[in-house]
Amino acid sequence: MGSGNKLAATVVVVTFAVLMAAVTTTCQAAYGPPNPASCGLKVGYYYAKCPHAEEIVKNVVGAAILHNPGVGAGLIRMLFHDCFVEGCDASVLLDPTPANPQPEKLSPPNMPSLRGYEVIDAAKAAVEAACPGVVSCADIVAFAARDASFFLSNSRVAFQMPAGRLDGRYSNASRALDFLPPPKFNLGQLVANFATKGLGVEDMVVLSGAHTVGDSHCSSFVPDRLAVPSDMEPPLAAMLRTQCPAKPSSGNDPTVVQDVVTPNKLDNQYYKNVLAHRVLFTSDASLLASPATAKMVVDNANIPGWWEDRFTKAMVKMASIEVKTGGNGEIRRNCRAVNH
């Protein structure tokens, strides 16, 4: 905000044509909160060009979750990890190459914990068989996160996902470290982190609810959260001490469920866990650190449908961060590699 005020106070001459060119190539959070319409995204983007694209992705995601519910949590997390680094452009999917040996997927926030790549590959293959060269990997990632939310919530989280994203050509592991918030962040750090992407405090609280599904490596919360004293519920802390080594290492870093009550269900149990001090991460516990965010936690925990409604809106908003359009992206033939 401060830099925006300084810019406003500075006499800068920018032609309308140049400004519009900037907006239409990459829809940056700097132009305000992420907005699908302003980024050229729309619901039903593929209806004419590939009528069954969204149905194909949904079928692939549904089959994968039926086999392994944990992969659904990975697909929701994948959208977040993609969009916060270089925008929603499928940069997280790119494999290492001699020219780029350290892409995002090899960065500590993604390796080895991020899951679901093979589901995106399967969905892309199925879509390519129906409509070659039409559907971007970035849109498939967004559709997959939406569909995973639908299946894991028993259809209680159902929404339409605008599309029209292009795939980016750049991916760097260091950028993931720059933009993805670690689980040790406190409330102030979380708020600032989300603000850099145009997302507000409520967006942050609502999107944190995705921690109601999936697993976490012990290293993400040990020893910080298991130290004595800790605000974690003593029975949960005691159980975790039996599951996690005191000093996790790359060779000994098991996983535990993030939500011990409904581990495979996308619901508002996360907020009940926050209130009961049954959460793993410092970032989770920090939601009670201010009256405003604590009130949001209480509302999400206690008002039926409150969290689900806000989660759908926040997901669409997040999926509009720094979208690539125009000549600033491509439609990859293979989601793991840029076109040549």
- Cα 193 from chain centroid (whole Å): 13
Q: How many whole angstroms separate alpha carbon 28 and alpha carbon 336?
A: 24
Q: Is 91 annotated as a binding residue?
A: yes
Confidence class for position 169, pLDDT limits 50, 70, 90: very high
Confidence class for position 104, pLDDT limits 50, 70, 90: very high
> What does the pLDDT average to over 294-314?
98
Q: Is 309 annotated as a binding residue?
A: no
Residue 233 lies in a domain: no
Q: Is 139 annotated as a binding residue?
A: no
Answer whether 0.85 is exceeded by the pTM: yes
Residue 125 lies in a domain: yes
Give residue-wise pLDDT tens across range 174-225: 999 999 999 999 999 999 999 999 999 999 999 999 999 999 999 999 999 9
Q: Is 320 annotated as a binding residue?
A: no
Give the total number of structural domains in the chain: 1
CA terminus-to-terminus distance, the chain: 40
- The domain of 167 spans 36-214+258-319
Give residue-wise pLDDT tens across range 237-285: 999 999 999 999 999 999 999 999 999 999 999 999 999 999 999 999 9
Residue 24 lies in a domain: no
Q: Is 201 annotated as a binding residue?
A: no
Residue 136 lies in a domain: yes
pLDDT of 29 over the 50 cut: no
Residue 291 lies in a domain: yes
Give residue-wise pLDDT tens across range 47-79: 999 999 999 999 999 999 999 999 999 999 999
Phi, psi of 72 (to 5 degrees): -65, -40
Residue 189 lies in a domain: yes
> What does the pLDDT average to over 306-331?
96
The tokens for 43 are 């619901």
Name the one residue in this structure whose structure tokens are 């969290």.
Answer: 307
Looking at residue 337, what is its pLDDT? 98
Residue 227 lies in a domain: no
pLDDT of 130 over the 60 cut: yes
DSSP label at residue 161: -
Catalytic residue numbers read 81
181-215 per-residue burial string, b: 16 or more CB within 10 A, e: under 16: bebebebeebbebbeebbbebbbbbbbbbbbbbbb
pLDDT of 122 over the 60 cut: yes
Mean pLDDT of the chain: 91
Q: Is 212 annotated as a binding residue?
A: yes
CATH classification at residue 45: 1.10.520.10
Roughly what angle, to the nearest 10 degrees, separates helices 70-83 and 53-67? 130
Looking at residue 27, what is its pLDDT? 63
Half-sphere exposure of 199 (CA within 13 A, CB side): 28
Phi, psi of 22 (to 5 degrees): -65, -40
Confidence class for position 3, pLDDT limits 50, 70, 90: very low
Residue 85 lies in a domain: yes
